[in-house]
Amino acid sequence: MNITKELFGKTIDGKEVWLYTLSNNHQLTVKIMTYGGIITSITTPDKNGKLGDIVLGFNNLKDYQGTHPFFGALIGRYGNRIAKGRFTLNGQEYKLAVNDGQNHLHGGLIGFDKVIWEAKELKDQTSVGLRLTYLSKDGEEGYPGNLTTTVSYLLNDQNELAINYEAVTDKPTVLNLTNHSYFNLQGEGSGDVLGHEMMIVAEGYTVAGEGLMPTGEIKSVQGTPFDFTAAKSLGAEINQVDGGYDHNFVLNHPENKLSLAARVVEPGSGRKMEVLTTQPGMQLYTGNFLDGTFKGKSGHAYSSHAGFCLETQHYPDSPNQPKFPSTVLNPGQTYHQVTIYKFSV
């Protein structure tokens, strides 16, 4: 197992951005940069041993600094949506940056996906990795508290990429961290993902209303297009979902217990990905808003459904939904969540 480092470029304001490559002994490589903590590439063999890059993204820093739909990024302070960009905590109302219609999405105008993280290389007997740290100052994007966040990416020889999230604050705040990688197990730029076979360990989902905001209702997936309890293709019932899948699934496991959340197989390549997490929810997003505007690493345009996201998370708009699991972090507590992406054929 090995880790290497190279200069990926400089930001618009002249800051250096470094790209780290993690590789194991089974030809699995993961590239992560210090800008946005973004996973720029995951290369894995298919059933014939042919290597392919299975995440959407760009070849250069300039494109990542432009407008794009969070390819590969670390998301914070709050992954997903907060209604009308406001919430009340301990009797005080906080107004956040609004960047999705009337709502707050994925941390605001300058979320964790658009900052430079401090990096430290990690290596031991069982894994290689990268520890990223960022201090989000009190009031950033409207959030209370100085929040120190540490995210560790760890790759082992079992073909597991673990993401460990930790954070501490000096004032009560809300927090919901995730990663926003878009996967295509055929290889990025090789068409849509509607033939991927997916199973999700969830018997419920949070019903989305206007602006994809939760209504507060948790509904059974049974008898709906959201039923992935048995594996089916992503395209099987997507036409019955207005706009495509962009919904939070209520995972069956007890909170904070690391367990299987989803399994995805791409029949042509034979590639398989499993997602394990301690988080209570997971957003399935099928790249509905991709429209061919973005040209990826392969030179191919990313059209609708060119990738899917499995964003492990707390539920959207939890700060305004008292029945949802709490996303409040208080001083003296440590936020800790783990998600593992495991690759095989």
Active-site annotation, residues: 180, 311
What is the β-pairing status of strands 147-156 and 127-136? antiparallel
Which position has the token pair 């705040």? 173
Q: Which two tokens stand for residue 143?
A: 């959030």
For 9, the 3-state DSSP assignment is strand
| CA–CA gap between residue 345 and residue 339 (Å, rounded) | 20
CA 131 from centroid of its chain's CA atoms: 17
Where would I find the H helices in the chain?
61-65
R_g over Cα of the chain: 19
CB 51 within 8 A of CB 27: yes
Q: Note if the bond before 131 is cis, omega within 30 degrees.
A: no
